[in-house]
Amino acid sequence: MVKMNNPNIYIIMGVSGSGKTTIGQQLSYLLNYSFYDADDFHSPENLEKMSQGIPLNDQDRQPWLISISHLIQNLQQHKQPAIIACSSLKNSYREFLHNNNPNLIWIYLKGSFDEILERLEKRKQHFMKSELLKSQFETLEEPENALVIDISLTPEEIINQILLLLNLSGGSIPPNC
């Protein structure tokens, strides 16, 4: 991992099924950044709750947000760039995680309810059930300070658009990366 003076941390956000993990993993591979999935920071109790179709509340999410905040602080302290896939649905969650960090950049994967529902219904072996999508859209407060990317594009097109908007490459990735 290459250390930088002021490394960026990109948070790929959006509702479940928007492609955060897929896009985050591909982007981290291309940029040679570490990748973290915020789902891995949920407590077993939160995972169980969601697997039963019960939406999380702010109290459930607080320890999860604290863990992700500690991750961000640790990455910054060690000057390590990273990509984090994290729903970050509410402005208050993003403000908590951002914590006036100038090197944190939000990338919002935006899609329609129907488009994302179709994706979720195809998922197998995932704790997040399609029944919870309605609650995610109800909770979602669309960000004002983020790159907004349309998820109807292919993953390659999404990555290319992100790279172009971030001015990180010529905007071209190999197919099926």
pLDDT at site 170: 45
C-alpha span between 74 and 68 (Å, rounded): 10
Q: What three-state secondary structure class fits 123?
A: coil
What residues contact 157, with CB distance under 8 A and at least 6 apart?
Answer: none
Q: For residue range 113-155, list pLDDT tens digits in order.
A: 999 888 777 766 544 555 677 888 989 999 998 999 999 999 9
- Spell out the domain ranges in the chain: 9-166
pTM score? 0.85
pLDDT at site 80: 93
Cα of 35 vs its chain's centroid, Å? 10
Tell me phi and psi for residue 17, to 5 degrees.
90, 0
Identity at 59, one-letter amino acid code: Q
pLDDT at site 51: 77
Q: Which residues pair with 82 in a beta bridge?
A: 9, 34
Which CATH code for domain 9-166?
Answer: 3.40.50.300
Assign 49 a pLDDT band (cuts: 50, 70, 90). confident
Q: For residue range 52-77, list pLDDT tens digits in order.
A: 778 788 899 899 999 999 999 999 99
